[in-house]
Amino acid sequence: MRVRELNYRTIWPSEHGNAVEVIDQTRLPHRFEVVQLKSLADMVHAIKTMQVRGAPLIGAATAYGLALAMREHAGDEYLRQAASTLLSSRPTAVNLRWAVQRMLQCLEPASVAERADLAWREAAAICNEDVAINQAIAGHGLALLQALHEEQQRPLNILTHCNAGWLATVDWGTALAPVYAAFDAGIPVHVWVDETRPRNQGASLTAWELGQHGVPHTVITDNAGGHLMQQGRVDAVVVGADRVTRGGDVCNKIGTYLKALAAYDNDVPFYAAVPSSTIDWQIADARSEIPIEERNAEEVGHIGGRLADGTFAVIDILPAGSAVANPAFDITPARLVTGIITERGTCPPDSLPVLFPEFQP
């Protein structure tokens, strides 16, 4: 997508093929900075500190992490060790495991001498496929938004939580892909952007990328969405996901469940837009089987932003001595979900196995 008139992806190999470059998402919206990652350790650090984040992008970053590792040492033991280090960097997004498995399937049968080149090619293929998948999601989501718009005959109001835009993927996005497609097709669309505490991915990333593309949007606190739905000011909720079960439970950024409850209570359709790499076919019970990452308590009390003089600062909003809890994800049960938008089309939450019969047990 475009940033100041130039086209960018969120991740790409450096010119000489020995490093990976990413947009540092911890600096946005205040600074647009590209960082170069030269080693597996750099990539693990980037994933853990959320310089790269978003389930599909974490998948692509994992693939490139293994590619960087194969330049360091291509032996079996290091490959397994690198895979395991990456797997433990973030526990909730299943795309990480998906990418590791796909890379291992490609690399394990190959000779040590071939592995590095093979890994770089496979990582690039994963990135290109992600873009194609998101374009397919855009098309299927666009059909939904078009139908909603024809029904309503007025500008569409979409509410989204966290960032599932192009910054969360290699390009285009998942939840925002249909919004960009609708905007580009001339459908009047406006996005309510949940700020998404504690890390403010909505206020800092979603608002920024919608602004760069010119899509009308309004930032709201995470508390406001229910009220807006009660007032009939939201036509659909569209979010991404970090993991979706085969039964259609949606594990996504903390707070998504609250918006799904409000959507259900106000007859507002609630969609999750995901590539199939986000679906975990092995899990039956989301609540007991999906590990919910508990992130550093400092993320809640410490907030970064721009001072009046334009410099960046971090403030502490809490009284000394107050304890903090910081669960990063929650689970929206399938009963609250209207549909899952995938690269193969949109289906009710319990019909994912119909769209993807090859994953049947």
Among 313, 348, 354, 359, binds its own copies (CB under 8 A): 313
Q: Residue type at 301?
A: G
- Window contacting its own copies (CB under 8 A); options: 41-49, 94-102, 140-148, 304-312: 304-312
Catalytic residue, from 130, 242, 249, 330: name it: 242
Instruction: Give the pair of three-digit tokens for residue 276.
Output: 């199939």
Neighbours of 231 (CB within 10 A): 9
Q: Is 56 in the site for its own copies (CB under 8 A)?
A: no
Distance CA 280, CA 74 (A): 29
Cα torsion at 314, 319, 323, 326 (round to 10°)? -30
Q: Is 300 in the site for its own copies (CB under 8 A)?
A: yes
How distant, in Å, are the alpha carbons of 97, 169, 208 from that of 126? 14, 11, 26
| Active-site residue, 242 included | yes
Q: Is 253 in the site for its own copies (CB under 8 A)?
A: yes
Q: Is 204 in the site for its own copies (CB under 8 A)?
A: yes
Least distance in Å: CB of 152 to its own copies?
A: 20
Least distance in Å: CB of 329 to its own copies?
A: 8
Q: Is 325 in the site for its own copies (CB under 8 A)?
A: yes
- Window contacting its own copies (CB under 8 A); options: 19-27, 62-70, 226-234, 272-280: 226-234
- Window contacting its own copies (CB under 8 A); options: 4-12, 79-87, 261-269, 337-345: 261-269
Instruction: Give the pair of three-digit tokens for residue 156.
Output: 């569409």
Q: What is the per-residue DSSP string for 113-171?
A: HHHHHHHHHHHHHHHHHHHHHHHHHHHHHHHHHHHHHHHH-S-EEEEE-S--SGGGSSS
Q: Is 2 in the site for its own copies (CB under 8 A)?
A: no
# of chain residues touching its own copies (CB under 8 A): 67
Neighbours of 352 (CB within 10 A): 23
Least distance in Å: CB of 333 to its own copies?
A: 9
Answer left, alpha or beta for residue 186, where phi above 0 means left and psi between -120 and 50 means alpha.
left
- Footprint of its own copies (CB under 8 A): 28-29, 192-193, 195-198, 200, 203-204, 207-208, 210-211, 216-228, 230-231, 253-255, 257-259, 261-262, 265, 287, 292, 300-301, 303-308, 313-327, 329-331
